[in-house]
Structure 1
């Protein structure tokens, strides 16, 4: 027994001595141990092709010379930076400096190659470095004979580790190559929730081509960087000085596009009706994308449809303001504060159209109705349209009042498609719009603008009481960011980073384009052609059930005919209404508080009242009461009570197995006469939709749901039918009685009284 212990001790000492020898002989310029050398070789052999592939996704369109130059220079920069870090880590003597250097460089290159959610970027890069290093070390040691005299246990351990690394790499490769896992159920599809017998067909499909033949042309500044804007029949525009609206425009960007910020071109694609006119003018602005993969051509599907239905549609070129990894030195020297320029350029295009409309001999002389203009924007363009609409009514540039504005065009309607919000704030203030029609579209599976940012701008649309306007938002399950643009498509990330996302849950692109056509065309028909019947689509999407893809939707609506009672944005007092003199009373509630609405990644800037209840036998019925101020109310018998509500139960899954929240809406007049209707009589309150935008098993690593408000309207005349003694014009109280669902949490905002029935 003693001899065995002695031999074991000797083997342990020899092992430690061998390990110490390996560690101490790895001087900076000494030969690497076979394992480390193998790790370096395989790591370099695998990471370099991956990065060259990602480099092609980002800058390959520029041509072979720029592609090789950009990729090699970036790799050299990473090598230099990580070499310094490796040198700093060399003191630890735990790994050879050259391996540490290469591992750090590989880690950085893999981070760039898999741009996406931070957690997944780090996990992907770290696991690939570890797996490739382990496999390379074992294989190299085996090939060079390092295991010939090793003990059996060492060989078995090495083989097992190699097989584990190979299995990990194979499984990881299959995981990256897959599209993810598809959604299993959509229990609240539009046609399921909106029965056909409630929506008699009364309108023509707005996505159907109209009666006009469509003509096309382009226009652009002379010697444009893109030939299509200087075609034989193209109209010529002047360049404009936008240097005050951007920062950090590099000389490399100037070389790429052939101009600096002081000479921005006005380029556009036009689709227009073959007719006498005048026709409403619609200007479309794309968002941020790789600058050399042109985004403006991705809205031809909208341009052709709108032109056939009697609109002049223009998709403008703002690609020179987009991300350009080559010009931006792979994000080390990016263009800054370009958001104001996006909106300002839209107004410069409108100035051109105003001039053409007045110029005899121009093809568009008298063709454009400059009193009926709509702006459509996607992504950053979705914020730019609000900036343009705000600038349109300002006297000067908020950041430099020496730059005077005098636009005042007839911008009636604004559409934000998956728009950003708050990237630019005029004079540090959120962008507020007044007396304009507004539509915000958003997908539950947006992998770029992952929270519904357009809802914030929706909350900042104000109506002064003059004119007939409305605002609406539509949240669509299964829609992503890019499929609204035919160039961008199903991938919202950059290159290989798309492999981290769960694109299997997306609806087909043709369905997402169909939804955009139906909603945008309906909106413009209602607000520019003044076909008011199409406004019904936004009060209740059931009117579009036969046109829209049959997925799940949540929509919201508000109009200028509605007097606001409570928005929950005005103060911190939970007992007061926005309307002076009103009161708010809660009874029997588990939770009652006013708060900023918590979206996926941050609180929104708009507020709501959060009401939570849990009914118990014998306890007081949970309720929430809005008490209107006394005096002359101005409420009409044919008016309606309206409000927006969202289910806030984040433990509920949209699987169809959970009970939908229902409650009672009760009204009471000044004489005490009451009437009530269930919430479900006006529509079902849908749960929060799950948008698992990254693949399993990381789907829950990011937030997957957020509260989206849907509108409800109850006609006062319907309450009077239930109780003829109820007097709508004497309305005093609106009660939300939580008597139908045992427990739950809801958010309520924008309670109001609408004058006149629809």
Structure 2
């Protein structure tokens, strides 16, 4: 500078969080003054006469006189200082909920209440009806997004305000509830940015899925989505139709709410069976059910879970994330997000009191609950909930289908946020694409490179106490499955032993407890990755502060240590209320959160020659769940119809016999297996006869490499008692590894063979 002073400039990788406090710059830990931000928010400048800045070694952002990560603001590891970025939301420069350049036109269609019949609904009729939100004047084929609502009453009487969910078409005096019109805010946000959004009606399924389906309507909902896609594809090729040439059927996204969430997963699997599938690039289950535990590899997926869900209160849709992680090697992003203060219904205006036309309700009760009740300060209003829903739904489809990578921090575990999200607090789990990830220790089972020593409890666990096999370790003793979304038993696969993690408990008397992970040949150079990541949660049995320390050691013995509590709130408990059902609160959930430790922050260790990683307690007592230790770099990958072989189970009929025996059932494969695969078999699942010839149990079945089919042996208990009727048992296959599920349900008919 002409007067002999200095100009200090710091260039940022992303804009600063929006705060009331003014940003400052610190040189070598010393604050030199308030900074001037550039118009794009990516540079900070301070002009100073301080002579000490001439030899600066480090320039950092400071707030209110404190450098984040300094001794004045946070605990630090003496071996490796780190900025606690995980404790702050990262404000993104672009907001996906803000309107784009296009006006929106409505091109709705209605082919009637009985326009299609669905084999998944026992060939009963259902409607073909959709609200179409299209960008006016957008050139060329546009990305397509399908919205599918969940299970709500199909019909209501506008005079009496009574509802009916047994008749379809609606009974005399009743009219259809337009649940499919409840996502207009999100649909319009996408349409203004050039997307064609089609929200379809599924009341015919809602009215009949309880009695006329094997799977509570998942297959029927998937078929309905495919029927609507076929219709749209046909119109896209029909000259003179308003949608002619406007749809890019190679770039399709699916959102399903509640049972619609399982429905869109089923649709993506049905699509993969086709010789010429549509380009389904993104799937977003919103507050979903997961009754049958299928997996969905090869498609980027974001699961949205409302913490105050009073309907699907066990957040069972978490299974879609957990079960798919390592089921088939793939190269796509998957994410699971916990939205604090949100309930099940209010993402849909037609399910929201005071906004809906038909009767609706707040699914959370009691209203007096201090965490999730309607008057609780941490509960989002219906408008706030729809706003944050729009942020994450529109953001995900624009990220994946539109390639707008600025939205990646909303989903990759970096705690991104935007103004439209308001005061909503959102926590994340994320698994990056396979090509951008080094899996060191999934921690699902013992491994040669992992040792667990010195803990009071250091064991691989799964499920809840009542559901584990003899000798196995349960992840939780609770009977309130709403508290443990990872281990919530599925309706049709209640005893399947999946979603294992490493459970750790320690006390002051523990002897040098640690988890040690050794790096294999070629794994020690992690410089190319952005972060060391893992999932962690506080053990519900822990009391007081709980913390862990992670240490990396290089080939020369140098180390870097970071405490989880310095960079992430993942080991802090989720809020719990005093309101209980049968003495048990549904809140205080145990849910793993992703922790990201930037490689650039691991000073003091050579990140080109790391030899080991250890996890040790950083509190005198405590407990934690640990999973998925990896190095990765954020990305989306490119998804599409999975090429994984599909496995289906066929119906069978057998004679009961006079004593213990087995019934042979066939597994059909859609192709030849290139590697061995497994599925979990659940016998006598929900919906089966209770007479007892087929005991209720689960067991794994391995399908050999090169197989094009296989058989399973279902235990059978025969007798010499005369029965007047045959009995049927539902047999379910689920949680596949190396394959995906085609038809996961079959009926085993047991014939009585005793003479009268």
The two structures share one fold, judged by TM-score above 0.5: yes
Task: Classify 1:607/1:715 alpha carbon distance in 2 versus 1 (closer, same or farther; 3 Å).
Answer: same
1:419 and 2:288 are equivalent in the alignment: yes
Task: Classify 1:533/1:463 alpha carbon distance in 2 versus 1 (closer, same or farther; 3 Å).
Answer: farther
The residue aligned with 2:565 is: 680
Q: Which has the larger radius of gyration?
A: 1
1:264 and 2:264 are equivalent in the alignment: no
1:482 and 1:490 in contact (8 A); partners too: no
Give the Å deviation of 1:209.
1.3
1:438 and 2:438 are equivalent in the alignment: no
Task: Classify 1:755/1:287 alpha carbon distance in 2 versus 1 (closer, same or farther; 3 Å).
Answer: closer
Q: What SS is found at the alignment partner of 1:606?
A: coil
The residue aligned with 1:212 is: 102
The residue aligned with 1:186 is: none
Give the Å deviation of 1:376.
0.1
Task: Classify 1:263/1:552 alpha carbon distance in 2 versus 1 (closer, same or farther; 3 Å).
Answer: closer
Task: Classify 1:649/1:466 alpha carbon distance in 2 versus 1 (closer, same or farther; 3 Å).
Answer: closer
The residue aligned with 1:745 is: 623
Give the Å deviation of 1:196.
12
Determine the C-alpha separation between the residues in 1 that align with 2:147 and 2:457: 45
Determine the C-alpha separation between the residues in 1 that align with 2:531 and 2:86: 24
Q: Which residue, 196, 221, 240 being the options, matches 1:342?
A: 221
Task: Classify 1:216/1:315 alpha carbon distance in 2 versus 1 (closer, same or farther; 3 Å).
Answer: same
The residue aligned with 1:628 is: 519
The residue aligned with 2:680 is: none
Task: Classify 1:286/1:407 alpha carbon distance in 2 versus 1 (closer, same or farther; 3 Å).
Answer: farther
Q: What SS is found at the alignment partner of 2:515?
A: strand
Q: What SS is found at the alignment partner of 1:287?
A: coil
The residue aligned with 1:558 is: 431
Task: Classify 1:496/1:373 alpha carbon distance in 2 versus 1 (closer, same or farther; 3 Å).
Answer: closer
Q: What SS is found at the alignment partner of 1:451?
A: coil
Give the Å deviation of 1:270.
0.5
The residue aligned with 2:93 is: 203
The residue aligned with 2:710 is: none
Q: Which residue, 382, 407, 414 being the options, matches 1:534?
A: 407
Q: Which residue, 299, 304, 321 being the options, matches 1:458?
A: 321
Give the Å deviation of 1:609.
0.5
Determine the C-alpha separation between the residues in 1 that align with 2:264 and 2:613: 37
The residue aligned with 1:245 is: 120
2:143 and 2:401 in contact (8 A); partners too: yes
1:568-620 CA-partner distances (Å, limit 9, x unpaired): 34x4xx3x1xxxxx42222331211111154437734311101112235xx64
Give the Å deviation of 1:691.
5.6
Q: What SS is found at the alignment partner of 1:434?
A: coil
Q: Which residue, 216, 235, 238 being the options, matches 1:356?
A: 235
Determine the C-alpha separation between the residues in 1 that align with 2:582 and 2:380: 18
The residue aligned with 2:382 is: 509
Further displaced range: 560-569 or 299-308:
560-569
Q: What SS is found at the alignment partner of 1:714?
A: strand
Determine the C-alpha separation between the residues in 1 that align with 2:634 and 2:607: 12
Q: What SS is found at the alignment partner of 1:362?
A: coil
Determine the C-alpha separation between the residues in 2 that align with 1:431 and 1:710: 23
Task: Classify 1:334/1:345 alpha carbon distance in 2 versus 1 (closer, same or farther; 3 Å).
Answer: closer
1:285 and 1:381 in contact (8 A); partners too: yes
Task: Classify 1:729/1:197 alpha carbon distance in 2 versus 1 (closer, same or farther; 3 Å).
Answer: closer
Matches within 5 A, 1:318-717: 318-323=202-207, 337=215, 338-394=217-273, 405-422=274-291, 425=292, 430-462=293-325, 469-489=332-352, 502=369, 503-504=373-374, 505=376, 506-540=379-413, 542-544=415-417, 546-560=419-433, 561-569=436-444, 571=445, 574=446, 576=447, 582-596=448-462, 597-598=475-476, 599-600=481-482, 603-604=487-488, 605-616=498-509, 620-631=511-522, 635-650=526-541, 659=545, 661-690=546-575, 692=577, 696=579, 698=581, 700-717=583-600
Determine the C-alpha separation between the residues in 1 that align with 2:500 and 2:206: 33
RMSD between superposed Cα atoms in Å: 3.3
Q: Larger strand proportion, structure 1 or 2?
A: 2
Stretches of structure 1 lacking an aligned partner (at least 5 in a row): 1-192, 226-237, 248-260, 395-404, 577-581, 653-657
Give the Å deviation of 1:516.
0.3
2:104 and 2:188 in contact (8 A); partners too: yes
1:490 and 1:509 in contact (8 A); partners too: no
Determine the C-alpha separation between the residues in 2 that align with 1:674 and 1:366: 59
The residue aligned with 2:148 is: 285
The residue aligned with 1:138 is: none
The residue aligned with 2:719 is: none
Q: What SS is found at the alignment partner of 1:241?
A: strand
Matches within 5 A, 1:59-98: none
Give the Å deviation of 1:340.
0.5
Q: TM-score, normalised by structure 1?
A: 0.60
Further displaced range: 315-324 or 624-633:
624-633
Give the Å deviation of 1:277.
3.5
Task: Classify 1:421/1:757 alpha carbon distance in 2 versus 1 (closer, same or farther; 3 Å).
Answer: closer
Determine the C-alpha separation between the residues in 2 that align with 1:564 and 1:734: 13
Give the Å deviation of 1:201.
5.0
> How many residues get paired?
492
1:85-116 CA-partner distances (Å, limit 9, x unpaired): xxxxxxxxxxxxxxxxxxxxxxxxxxxxxxxx
The residue aligned with 2:613 is: 734
Determine the C-alpha separation between the residues in 1 that align with 2:450 and 2:84: 33
Give the Å deviation of 1:467.
8.0
Give the Å deviation of 1:463.
7.5
Task: Classify 1:466/1:532 alpha carbon distance in 2 versus 1 (closer, same or farther; 3 Å).
Answer: farther
2:333 and 2:430 in contact (8 A); partners too: yes
Give the Å deviation of 1:355.
1.9
Determine the C-alpha separation between the residues in 1 that align with 2:280 and 2:555: 43
